[in-house]
Amino acid sequence: MNTVIINEQQLQIEIDALKAEFPETKDIYREVCVLLFFRYGITPTANKLYQYVRRGSMSAPADALNKFWLELREKSRIRIERPDIPENISALAGDLIANLWNEAQKAAQAGFSNLVDNATSEILLFKLQAEKANENTEKVKALLDQTQTELKSTQKRLSETDYLLSANTNALAKQENAFNALKIERDNLSATIIDLKASFSTDLANIGLALNKAEQQYRGLEEKSLLELDRSRQQIKKLEKEINNLRLKSANEQSQYTKDIAKLQTVIAGLNHKTGNLSGILSELKNQLKIERRSAISKKKLTSNK
């Protein structure tokens, strides 16, 4: 049973592929006949063809089936009448094809009759349903008019509601965005405050330590400054004494320097006088030397001329 189900599924898949490949209804029925007979070994009938394809009118599968058997008979006759086939085999093949054709025709006619009977029953059922439907048409029309009116009113209210809902949704989205932004800002501020508190505590502790250290340093500097101040006072007194001594010594030295300068000026004046005398003597000697040189040069010239 599983093999049959699988073959039926595969068959339907291949028929759907044929539907997509052949747009014409007669071509589809022809190809399905070939598929059933040669691929699956199933004798095609009009009823089966219509069940698988379900296209066109009810005469379409019967026409396609008749054409299929006609083509098959023509092709079979051509193969049987080949000259290289023995006469007895040709006769047997002809009888086999004739019997196959007759059985196929009967099956096709029976399938077509069943299809027509089923279609007739369906048509009668459809007529009864149509009459019953016509009876309810007026009621349905009235109800439809009322429903359309109510639908228009409902659509209007729904449109207004959709507009309000959209506006409220947008407003709510904006409020949610603002709320989320405020929440994020609050969290950031909280984190910042926590960090500032921690930093302030640390800074405060560091400042306390720094103040203690500075106070100790100040006390040490104050003691050191007092000691240095006392030393400076003593040094100032000592320096004042030394300055007074230096002033006295400088006054004495300046007086002696003045006297020495006066003596030196007297000596310089005498030397300047001597220098003037020596300069006069030197000038006379230079003049005399020039005269002697000229006289010597003249003598040499006279000697050379002789």
Q: Domain boundaries in the chain? A: 2-135
pLDDT < 50: residue spans in the chain = 1-6, 78
Query: What values do phi and psi take at 56, rounded to 5?
Result: 75, -170
Asked whether 69 and 104 are in contact (CB, 8 A), the reply is yes
**Model pTM score:** 0.29
Copy the structure tokens of residue 136.
């309810």
Q: What is the pLDDT of residue 298?
A: 85
Contact 20, 49 (CB under 8 A): no
Amino acid identity of 172? L
Q: How many helices (H) and strands (E) does the chain have?
A: 6, 0
Question: Do 20 and 31 meet the contact criterion of CB atoms below 8 Å apart?
Answer: no
Count of C-beta atoms within a 10 Å radius of residue 47: 22
Chain-wide mean pLDDT for the chain? 80
**pLDDT at residue number 94:** 62
Provide the pLDDT for residue 170: 86
The structure tokens 């010594």 sit at: 249
Predicted pLDDT of residue 2: 43
Residue 58 φ/ψ, nearest 5 degrees = -75, -15
CB distance 61 to 46 below 8 Å: yes
